[in-house]
């Protein structure tokens, strides 16, 4: 990722531009090792994925970066998805770490 290509930067996400796609990266999963690139079930776009293990040792596949093709998605569409991610983590933080 090149900082010159950053389009929007939120607390829990970053959106940047590559040649043919807008890339939405989940900052909370940035340091995970990419294990595969496949279709994200929720958004039906390509995604870099990894595995996060819960307290019981069960692995869960998670998307680190979502690749929204420019011919199908506008930057506004990607920002809407990013705001949803941001809101999810804000609520989660409020529930698990109240003031």
pLDDT tens column, 22-75 = 999 999 998 999 999 999 999 999 999 999 999 999 999 999 999 999 999 999
Judge whether 2 lies within some domain.
no
Judge whether 1 lies within some domain.
no
Judge whether 19 lies within some domain.
yes
Q: What is the three-class DSSP state of 91? A: helix
- What's residue 3's pLDDT? 57
Judge whether 44 lies within some domain.
yes
Judge whether 36 lies within some domain.
yes
Range of the domain at 73: 7-96
Judge whether 84 lies within some domain.
yes
Total structural domains within the chain: 1
Q: Is the pLDDT of residue 12 over 90?
A: yes
Under 8 Å CB-to-CB from 67, ≥6 apart: which residues?
18, 21, 22, 23, 45, 46, 47
């Amino acid at each position: 990722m090149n900082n010159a290509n950053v389009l929007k930067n939120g607390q829990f996400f970053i959106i940047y531009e590559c040649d043919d796609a807008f890339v939405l990266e989940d900052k909370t999963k940035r340091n995970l090792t990419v294990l595969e690139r496949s279709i994200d079930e929720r958004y039906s776009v390509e995604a870099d994925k990894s595995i996060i293990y819960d307290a019981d040792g069960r692995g869960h596949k998670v998307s680190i970066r979502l690749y929204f093709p420019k011919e199908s998605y506008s930057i506004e569409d990607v920002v809407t998805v990013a705001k949803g991610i941001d809101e999810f983590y804000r609520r989660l933080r409020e529930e698990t770490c109240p003031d």
